[in-house]
Structure 1
Amino acid sequence: MEKILIKNALLSPSGKEGTADILIYEGKIGKIAPQVDSPHDCSVIDADGLTVIPGLVDVHVHLREPGFSYKETIAAGTAAAAAGGFTTVCPMPNLNPAPDSPENLERQLEIIRRDAKIETIPYATITRSRLGAELVDYEALAPFVAGFSDDGSGVQDEEVMRKAMRQIAKTGKILAAHCEVNSLLRGGYIHDGEYARAHGHRGICSESEWGEIERDIRLAGETGCRLHICHISTAESVDLIRRAKERGVRVTCETAPHYLAFCDEDMREEGRFKMNPPIRSRRDMEALREGAADGTIDVIATDHAPHSAEEKSKGLEKSAMGVVGLETSLAAVYTHMVRPGHISFPRMLEMMALEPRKLFGFKGGLVPGNRADLAIVDFDRVVKVDSTSFLSKGKSTPFDGTTLFGKVMMTIAGGKTVYKL
């Protein structure tokens, strides 16, 4: 295994935290100190002017395999993740076959073992085939998964969700809920706001999200299940979760970079602005930023959801829901959240690296003895996003053509160099 010495690395872009040398051997961080002498047979990386950060963790990605490899593969998706500074990702179970049994899960795990460039820990489903009715064998699946989710579909039946929470609570795993009230969707496909009304589009109301969040928080309080709410996008969602945490409910949540960077005033008549939940109002965006700053929102996750170029080229109404994010996430959050002062640089690392590890029990981090998962980043580098250069098979992102600060120069996962610019 590689023996690597990183020299002169900044511990924050400002340089206020000083510099450090980091020695990596046997897949782990051996030493972090102001100066480390180079041992024999060691690759030396001069990181002068660059910042070293813990490897990022994305607890919400769609890698599309098995079943939809024309959209994305585990090989391409994890290569894209490595290019974005990620060392751990958790793929969602909207697959064919869905990982709703040990046998179906093993089909996915075989591909992961063969093709994944970084640590890849999948979710199993909450219900059989994600249909919201029959529960799966949580005890049999729990040792092999990050948690349980029917992402892409909300569990509509309250009693089914209550029973699922009771059983999942016994495993100690997280239930990651896609919160959406189907009866309130009414064929909508973008936010039910000014842009939708001005351009004749059918809107998705905010209550379709927060209505089910309200229910699931209540059920989590009843059952003691560890509830993690996926991709929140509304001000009401932030408020509900904030108040639930104050009451002691075991609830955490995530939002995505595009909800922090854009509002419906930024919309275009292009499929790259279409995802579920949708980009919402300026009021919602500002509430999400506040929730990220005050700790209500625990995690930033990409909801990386690739589709083919054809599926995303049909305008807002007919394009598939979903955008990619693994290769832009770090720079997007740094540009739109850290540089303007909405959150601090350490808070960004908490939300993108430290807190997801803590919540899901993953190893790693910039501590001697831990698995060597880290990225080396040039936060002064200005990059114009060009989706044609993405390693992901998906190219559709609202950040395409925008200017961001920050470029990952190298990613090391488990002591192995998995990406180098």
Structure 2
Amino acid sequence: MRLKITQGRVLDPASKTDGIYDILVEDGRIVKLDTQIEEEADQVIDASGFYVMPGLIDLHVHFREPGFEYKETIATGSAAAAKGGFTGVCPMANTNPVVDTPEMIRWILKKGEEVSPVHLYPIGAVTYGLKGEQITDAAAMKAAGMCALSEDGKTVMDARVYRDALRQAAANDIVVMDHCEDANLLKGGAMHAGKKADSLGLIGISHAVEDVITARDILLAKETGAHLHLCHCSTAGSVRMAREAKEDGVHLTAEVCPHHFTLTVEDIPEGDANFKMAPPLRDAADVQALKEGLRDGIIDAISTDHAPHSVEEKTNPEFVKNANGIVGLETAVSLVISELVEPGWLTPLQMAEKMSYRPAQILGIEAGELKVGRAADITIIDPSAEYVIDKNTFASKGRNTPFHGRKVHGRVMATIVDGKVVYQAE
């Protein structure tokens, strides 16, 4: 089977390529990349005017299966990923049962082989049952196919336990993805602390809730030599500490989610829990710092924290009682283009770096490059396409998005995994 992609703007951060090229794919691999390819193909995609970049990789998704299939399944989450341009995703461990053993890692991978059009890179729990008490056997889970450790959704509050986990991770060359929220400072919090929360009579979530754990875990990473990855950074303090840690030689990477560089706490309509997430939407100064961190390379990756919930879990009249999280796989590309690329915060090549190349490097996988001989994982995007986000068209089971009705630019035209077109826009 031969596939040819013609005259697209090829964006490959690994080789710094940014130009108009053809790509020839055969038997699932890239066999030729040139300004013009004459060979015939079974399928031809005209990519004129489109970005052609390495398949996007999302370091942070929640697919809910096993245990919470009413929210999302591996099949529906993977379909949403393909529609969103992602060729690989990292499902978090907070399922039921928790993904905390080699057997559960193998179960996720087997299920993915059966139902997922995209690559799954499962994440294992830091502690058994996400209880924060006893660290899991990270080496055994890695041998079974785990890509990283994370307690996402919770913070390991016992610093000694977390230090032990980081030591184990360092010894086995495993990245630890860190959910930075102090559970004690967080208690009862519903949105960012400030005038908005006060006016609604809600307990606020201060910057310190995130910054205290960020500081603690950077110090633990420095002591243990572990690779610490800061999940969903939301504060200017996290950006500043990440910058200082990197300058200090700490093995640190960081991610930001589209909602945190697009919205502020002031954008929350009263009572609309589609704007409720963890960490919460912050203020304008934080949004500015996050954009600067992306531009300057302090924040390495853009991830979605795709977190589907049922309608009932997001429509409680008491804001504080609603579940945290929004869906993000099918809106990420358009938000990055609309909020970062078009305003000049990132170049298109940097977009490919943040959404594909650097995530692959963080995971240590052979992906994120458009290179002859590599697997043909490719995302094709029309950057000028304008449309209005409609949650009712999502492939995800989740409809919990604050972006419904928002006009954006940038549409995924095709997602190719191992040379197979797994999504193509109509």
CA deviations on 1:150-169 (whole Å, 9 max, x unpaired) are 11000000100111111111
**2:14 maps to what in 1?**
none
State how 1:3-402 maps to structure 2 within 5 Å. Answer: 3-11=2-10, 17-39=18-40, 42-143=42-143, 144-268=145-269, 269-315=271-317, 316-364=319-367, 365-402=369-406
Instruction: Measure how far apart 1:53 and its partner are.
Output: 1.5
Contact 1:385 / 1:400 at 8 angstroms: preserved in 2?
yes
Q: What TM-score comes out, normalization by structure 2 length? A: 0.95
* Matched letter for residue 185 of structure 1: L
Please report how far the alpha carbon of residue 197 of structure 1 lies from its aligned counterpart in structure 2 after TM superposition.
1.4
Q: Shift in Å at residue 254 of structure 1?
A: 0.6
Partner SS, residue 327 of structure 1: coil
- TM (norm. structure 1) is 0.96
Q: What displacement does 1:17 show? A: 4.3
User: What's the offset of the Cα at 1:226?
Assistant: 0.6
CA distance in 1, matches of 2:130, 2:381: 38
1:227-248, CA deviations, whole angstroms, 9 ceiling, x for partnerless residues? 1111110011111111011000
Whether the 8 Å CA contact 1:147–1:173 is kept in 2: the answer is yes
Q: Distance in 2 between matches of 1:107 and 1:361?
A: 22
Q: Does the 8 Å contact 1:181/1:212 carry over to 2?
A: yes
Conserved in 1, the CA contact under 8 Å of 2:67 and 2:95?
yes
Per-residue CA deviation, residues 2-42 of structure 1 (Å, 9 max, x unaligned), is 31011121236xxx944211100111111111110133x52
After superposition, the C-alpha distances for 1:25-68 in whole angstroms (9 at most, x for unaligned) are: 111111111110133x5211222222211110000000011111
Q: 1:212 to 1:10 in 2, by over 3 A?
A: same
Tell me if the contact between 1:148 and 1:174 (Cα under 8 Å) persists in the aligned partners. yes
SS in 2 for 1:10: strand
CA distance, structure 1, for counterparts of residue 297 and residue 198 of structure 2: 34
Letter in 1 for 2:349: P
CA-to-aligned-CA distance 1:98-133 (integer Å, 9 cap, x gap): 111122333322212211110001101100001000
Give the total of aligned pairs. Answer: 416
1:266-317 deviations in whole A, cap 9, x for unaligned?
1112111011000001111111111111111011100000001111122532
Q: CA deviation at 1:201?
A: 1.8
TM-superposed deviation, 1:205: 1.2
Judge conservation of contact 2:18–2:349 (CA < 8 Å) in 1.
no
Q: Classify the secondary structure of the residue corresponding to 2:351.
A: helix
* Secondary structure at 2:313 match in 1: coil
Within 2, Cα distance between the matches of 1:372 and 1:279? Answer: 36
Shift of 1:334: 0.8
For structure 1, list consecutive stretches of 5 or more residues without a partner in the other structure.
Answer: none
**Quick check: 137-146 or 72-81, which moved more?**
137-146
Task: Indicate conservation of the 8 Å contact 2:257/2:302, yes or no.
Answer: yes
* Cα drift, residue 358 of structure 1: 1.1
Query: Over aligned residues, Cα RMSD in angstroms?
Result: 1.3
SS of corresponding position for 2:340: helix
Check the 8 A contact 1:412/1:419 in 2, yes or no. yes
Counterpart residue identity of residue 185, structure 2 = L
Read off the aligned partner of 1:413 and give its amino acid letter: V
